[in-house]
Amino acid sequence: MVDHLANTEINSQRIAAVENCFGASGQPLALPGRVLLGEGILTKECRKKPKPRIFFLFNDILVYGSIVINKRKYNSQHIIPLEDVTLETLPDTLQMKNRWMIKTSKKSFVVSAASLTERKEWISHLEECIRYLLTKTGRQPSTEHAAPWIPDKATDICMRCTQTKFSTLTRRHHCRKCGFVVCADCSRQRFLMPRLSPKPLRVCNLCYRQLLAEKKKEAEADRRQSEPICSAIQGYEPSSDDSDKSDDDKADQWPDTEFYTSQVSWSSFHR
């Protein structure tokens, strides 16, 4: 299907239409060999509440954004390389059905489709693209994933100390390592996690201690590994004729609409 659509005029028009809907706030999406395979509205579990998001599946990336005017204007564009994606099917909840998790090294989140059929289609197409890319590049599936943030409404108390109750004045925070909802006292520390951000991020006290222990363990391993090299360097005597002295970084305007209507299809895939 990818080979059939690549470099065709209709594919170029579809990609240009997506770029136009994101406008100047979005990145260019047209690349040689890139194909738009499908698109649709999925409900994304966000921090405050589930919200509809527009998703576009290409043969190498997954793009999503906030809906301003359906089929006319989107913003808050996010681009996810499919090579970094792992999928996990999740059970239904009272609030959301047909759920699955999209896991990456930088961000993981839960989405749901309007029907079980649509979920199967999305997962099938995603897995097919991921398999193709991994085979093409020789890479192994990603095993390190960012923790999904637990929604604010999932708990009224801090998930670490279990004592602090959240209120208008007592804010909720999220640990960037485990995704737990925690209070300020339980998340005063910051830790640098390069795969997530170039800046130190808020982490809960437990994760901070674990991260410090891991860092200390890695430093000790590096020190032991360098000892033989240092010994060899100390015993090295340069020859007398060595003349080499030197080396020459939105608004959501979508109405609160019920998306789970059994007769409505919100996604479409190109054949």
**Look-up: residue for tokens 């509205």?**
41
What's the confidence (pLDDT) of residue 30?
A: 94
Q: Tens of pLDDT along 109-165?
A: 999 999 999 999 999 999 999 999 999 888 888 778 899 999 998 899 999 999 999
Using DSSP, state whether 142 is helix, strand or coil: coil
Looking at the DSSP bridge assignments, the partners of residue 268 are 39
Query: For residue 177, which of 155, 208, 138, 213 has the smallest C-alpha distance?
Result: 208
What's the confidence (pLDDT) of residue 262?
A: 45
CA–CA separation, 66 and 52 (whole Å): 7
CA angle 267, 268, 271 (to 5 degrees): 160
What percent of the chain clears pLDDT 70, i.e. is strictly above it?
84
List, by residue range, all CATH 3.30.40.10 domains of the chain: 149-219
Q: Which CATH number fits domain 3-137: 2.30.29.30, 1.20.1250.20, 3.30.390.10, 3.40.50.1000?
A: 2.30.29.30
Query: The pTM is what?
Result: 0.76
List, by residue range, all CATH 2.30.29.30 domains of the chain: 3-137
Bridge-based pairing state of the strands 181-182 and 173-174: antiparallel
Q: Decide: 176 and 196 in contact? Cβ < 8 Å.
A: yes
Give every CB contact of residue 193 below 8 A, 6+ residues apart in sequence: 176, 177, 201, 211
**What is the average per-residue pLDDT within 17-35?**
94
Is the domain spanning 149-219 CATH 3.30.40.10? The answer is: yes
Q: Decide: 121 and 269 in contact? Cβ < 8 Å.
A: yes
